[in-house]
Structure 1
Amino acid sequence: MNNNTTDNSTLQQIAHAAVEPLGFEVLEVQVQSQGGEKIVLVRVDRLDEQPVTMEDLTKASRAAEAEFDRLDPVAGEYRLEFESPGSKRPLTRARHFERMLGLKARVRGEGHAFTAPIKAVSGDQVTFDVSGQDVTVSASAVQANLAEFPDRHR
């Protein structure tokens, strides 16, 4: 299949197909260059919302590696890396915001750019407390990351 595709949505679909049956959700795929080396970074979370372990990352990586090798979606040499969401967890779905209620998120899109606590979630709508004012955005229309690390696993 190697048609020099490095489109993130294609890579995300390939990773998703490989790891979702194992109980993982692909949160984000990035293609990075580090010292001239191409890296495909995949951030995953467990569908059961338990903490991601090293064993989980190994299992997900092996499954995705086989699929990436079979489909060969990236031109040239690259390294496939898997990470847990970490402190800058991408928030891409309403349920991600709901899980992090009360914590600060960094939000960009729909004419907004702010960092504020997540106040409420209703359907796809997420409300933030921005300097005492409610600002509501569509979860699917913005880019957001967790801006503070929770004191316990959520």
Structure 2
Amino acid sequence: MSSKLEQLQALLAPVVEALGYQCWGVEFISQGRHSLLRVYIDHADGILIDDCEKVSRQISAVLDVEDPVSGEYTLEVSSPGMDRPLFTLEQFAAHAGEQVKIRLRSPYEGRRNFQGVLRGVEEQDVIVQVEDHEYLLPIESIDKANIIPRFD
């Protein structure tokens, strides 16, 4: 995780949790002069638009005071949704058995994209089975990981 992401996570997670929600994860996408800060929140009862608004107002106030992001940016507060992104080893472990799509920052064994069954974690690696082969992917090399929703 980049130091900017770690800084934002450390700043925003306590604000989200103080409001009674779980801070599922933070994404910061730098797009030239205008960036995107996305904060995912979760709750056992689910997330409604009112929840996102409430958290957004609190986070905005903290960001205005602390000013951790230089330049213009858009703040989005969202539920992780059915295709929830995975950020931590704990989240990967909790969703073992699910179908996942993982993109790496740089190629591993000649590929950056993996889609298969999440088998769990081992130390700092995420285990994903693609067809008949298991890959151990270091968590720090994962750029993006999402659960593939099932519609049974």
Q: With structure 1 as the length reference, what TM-score do the two structures score?
A: 0.70
Residue 17 (structure 1) aligns with = 14
Higher relative contact order (CA 8 A, sep 6+): 1
Residue 77 (structure 2) aligns with = 82
Shift of 1:88: 4.5
CA separation of 1:127/1:68 partners in 2, compared to 1, >3 Å: closer, same or farther?
A: same
Please show how residues 100-111 of structure 1 align to structure 2 within 5 Å.
Answer: 100-107=95-102, 108=104, 111=108
Residue 3 (structure 1) aligns with = none
Unaligned runs of 5+ in 1: 1-6
SS of the residue corresponding to residue 78 of structure 1 reads strand
Q: Is the 8 A contact 1:24 1:60 kept in 2?
A: no
Q: How many residues align?
A: 144
Unaligned runs of 5+ in 2: none
Q: Which runs of 4+ in 1 moved over 6 A?
A: none
Q: With structure 2 as the length reference, what TM-score do the two structures score?
A: 0.71
Residue 28 (structure 2) aligns with = 30
For 1:29 and 1:45, how far apart are their aligned partners in 2? 12
Shift of 1:139: 3.7
CA separation of 1:41/1:143 partners in 2, compared to 1, >3 Å: closer, same or farther?
A: same
Q: Is the 8 A contact 2:41 2:77 kept in 1?
A: no
CA separation of 1:134/1:150 partners in 2, compared to 1, >3 Å: closer, same or farther?
A: same
SS of the residue corresponding to residue 96 of structure 2 reads coil
Between the two proteins, what is the percent identity of the paired residues?
23
For 1:24 and 1:65, how far apart are their aligned partners in 2? 17
